[in-house]
Amino acid sequence: MMSDRVAGLMGQLIAVAIALAIGAVIILAVNESPLRVLVTLIDGAFGNPERIAGTLLQMTPILICGIAACISLRGGLFNIGIEGQLFIGGFAATWVGFSFALPPLVHVLFGLAFAALAGMLWIAVPAFFRARFNTNEVVSTILANYVAILLTSYLTINVFKRPGGQPDTPAILESAYLPQIFSFSRLNWGLFIGVALAIGAYLFFTRTARGYAVTEMGANPKFAEYGGIDIKRQTFVLLLVSGAVGGLAGGIESLGVHHRFMEGFAPGFGFDGVIAALLANGSPIGTIVTALFFGALRNGSLLLEVDTTASREIITVIQALIILAVSAQILVRRRASDSTAGERRWKF
Amino acid sequence: MEVLERLFNAALIVAMLRTTAPILLVALGGSFTTKAGIFNIGLEGQMLLGAFFAVIGTIVSGSPWIGVLCGVAAALVLAYIFALLVVTFRANEVVVGLALNILASGMTISLMKAIFGTRGSIFGHGLVGLPIIRLPFAKDLGWFGQIISGYTPLVYVAFLAVPVLIIFYKRSRLGLYIRVVGEKPEAAEALGISIARIRYTASLICGVLAGLAGAHLSLGYTTMFTENMSSGRGFMAVAILIFSNGDPLKLLAGCLLFGFSDALSLRMQTTLGVSSYIILAVPYLVALAALFALSYRSRPRLIQETLATMGRALSVKPNGASGS
């Protein structure tokens, strides 16, 4: 068992190395030194305490979105709509934050709960149709992202716009702030919530019968059905929970970091979360590591844009290459172990 | 009444055909992979990369036609990587498709900054669009002439491709092979058809059309490149592909529905003053509604099929028992 795991981990690492090598060639192609890009990235991500806090700050939403993705991936489902759930959740928490006056802790909890509920509602329709009629959830959740981003922009600019000023909502009350960890950074308790969620998801999948049933469904839905699992119900509930965690990620961004909602609220965290979960092969604990990696890339890329001529989107290229390398790698391993690897579960 | 007249007229149909063309081209490309049994969520990225390199090719060469070729070539490279990973390495199609989309998005923005030193969009730099084709006989046809004349060439390519594809799937050997590979891979194997080769072919043809769709977006529909300018058209195409099952005629109907909702909502913005955010959301909502509505409708058929198979299974057993 252990050697299998080690082999798997080695596979992922080799894939990452290949991707980084291709990334280096691409960086050369845009006339920049790969070594300088690497040094700048590391310096930008871990150069001093503020930058480390910045990396953890970027990691937080990626981690929580990654957990949301893990939850659906474990059951063999693709919730690609985490980005949209994050926007909806972020707006919902902000709305609670500026509309109500509540005691400090209650206000935060109410805001986060509302964010999770909003994320859950946002995925409810795609989840229902996936569970009941097998409607492809990849496409429906992706399309819902576009609607979510436009809807929150509409609410922000046409309904709740702060008089005068920028295109953003009024600030939330201080009672709704998620407490910061250090005085010098916007890093907040969201990180702890994220890590707690990862551990919770890990325990759920490894220690409970229901968690096992979900993993079973992901591995082989037909077999799981024969085993007496109510696939439809489980699919629906699983996607709802995944959506709720995605909404929560948005709530934490708004109550912990921005303290208001604006256009371009949290660009790409939802997608980064999906990628982090894929790289971790659906393992919640592994997602902590991959989210840290992607958080560092993101934070390092801010300095990259200042210090070199490369644009920070070069890191999304590297992320994509990593996933491509890993996706091929996973299969080399799987093909050796079982014959159902070629089975296409997403055929329509 | 006056509002309705301002909303519905020949110009609306022209606008509808214009907005339909890019999504129709990419959806027709996806029809090949769909028919071959591949779920291709990477259309969006192929289209985006095609749009970008069409602009680069045009600026470098001065000819939009060379630009179209460059766009197609770029999309082909992405389609080849997709096929390599999905067919040869048997990687998960959803994962590969999404990663290629992210790759295309990041790469176009990085290259834009590296080459032009700007973010946002590329225009000027000697960028010329594809010429507008005015059909010589259109003048004599009145309002119908207005509707069929005055588009950029790829619009005609998109609509003419529909009957070509219908014949291709019905009459040509390759079309038949593609369908067999998608519907009954075991049968294809038994017939000695190479599943891998057919899936590669389908993916690459898909790349050509997705590249054309991209080139049309940046050289015909507009004459510029903007960050993420495909704006979900590739995903909408996938939604249409799901409920049309890749049939060219149904695809056309689905794409016209989008073109119509797009064109109509744009007009409603100007005539009724609805917020642009709501207007922009309309095509995505239409795609979702169609996806859900049609999956609901296909349910009875599914149940019927299940009942039929169960009935057959039940009726076979007693026979077999009596035989022995």
Q: Three-state SS string across A88-156, please?
A: HHHHHHHHHHHHCCCCHHHHHHHHHHHHHHHHHHHHHHHHHHHHHHCCCHHHHHHHHHHHHHHHHHHHH
Q: Which residues of B touch A280 (CB under 8 A)?
A: none
User: pLDDT per residue over B44-62, tens digit each?
Assistant: 999 999 999 999 999 999 9
A195-199, B65-69, B187-191, B307-311 — which is least confidently predicted?
Answer: B307-311
Q: Give the pLDDT score at B206.
A: 97
Whether domain A54-308 has CATH 1.10.3470: yes
Does residue A111 register a pLDDT over 60? yes
- Alpha carbons B324 and B319: distance in angstroms, whole number: 9
- Looking at residue B174, its pLDDT comes to 94
Asked whether the predicted pLDDT for residue B1 surpasses 80, the reply is no
pLDDT bin (cut points 50, 70, 90) of residue B6 is low
- pLDDT tier, A34 (very low <50, low <70, confident <90, very high otherwise): confident
Among chain B residues, CA nearest to A332: B89
What is the least distance, in Å, from the CA of B275 to any CA of chain A? 8
Report yes or no: B130 and B220 within 8 Å, Cβ to Cβ.
Answer: yes
Average pLDDT on B233-252 reads: 92
Distance of CA A290 to the CA centre of its chain: 11
Would you identify the CATH topology of the domain B2-318? ABC transporter involved in vitamin B12 uptake, BtuC (1.10.3470)
Residues whose CB is less than 8 angstroms from the CB of residue B213 and which lie 6 or more positions away in sequence, other chains included: B22, B23, B25, B26, B29, B47, B50, B158, B233
CA dist A131 and A230 (Å) reads: 10
Query: Nearest by CB to A129, which of B99, B110, B295?
Result: B295
Question: Helices then strands (H, E): number in chain A?
Answer: 13, 0
pLDDT of residue B311: 59
Is the pLDDT score of B270 beyond 80? no
Give the count of Cβ contacts less than 8 A between chain A and B.
Answer: 160
Helices and strands in chain B, H and E counts: 14, 2
Residue A27 has pLDDT above 90, yes or no: no
Looking at the complex, report in whole angstroms how far the Cα of residue A328 sits from the nearest Cα belonging to chain B: 5
Q: Where are the domains of chain B?
A: 2-318
Beta carbons of B107 and A143 less than 8 Å apart: no
Which residue has better confidence, A265 or B214? B214
Give B5's pLDDT tier (boundaries 50, 70, 90). low
Question: pLDDT grade, residue B4 (50/70/90)?
Answer: low
> Mean per-residue pLDDT for B14-21?
90
Task: Please state the domain extents for chain A.
Answer: 1-32+309-348, 54-308
Residue A168 β-bridge partners: A262
Q: How far apart are CA B192 and CA A200, in angstroms?
A: 51
pLDDT confidence of residue B323: 35
| Chain B nearest C-alpha distance from A183 (Å) | 34
Better pLDDT: B141 or A100: A100
CB B46 within 8 A of CB B102: no
Report the alpha-carbon distance of residue A195 to residue A288 in Å, rounded.
Answer: 7
Give this prediction's pTM: 0.88
What pLDDT, on a 0 to 100 scale, did the predictor assign at position A339? Answer: 35
ipTM of the complex: 0.87
B119: which chain A residues are within 8 Å (Cβ-Cβ)?
A: 311
> How far from each other are the two terminal CA atoms of chain B, in whole angstroms?
76
Percentage of residues in chain A having pLDDT higher than 90: 58
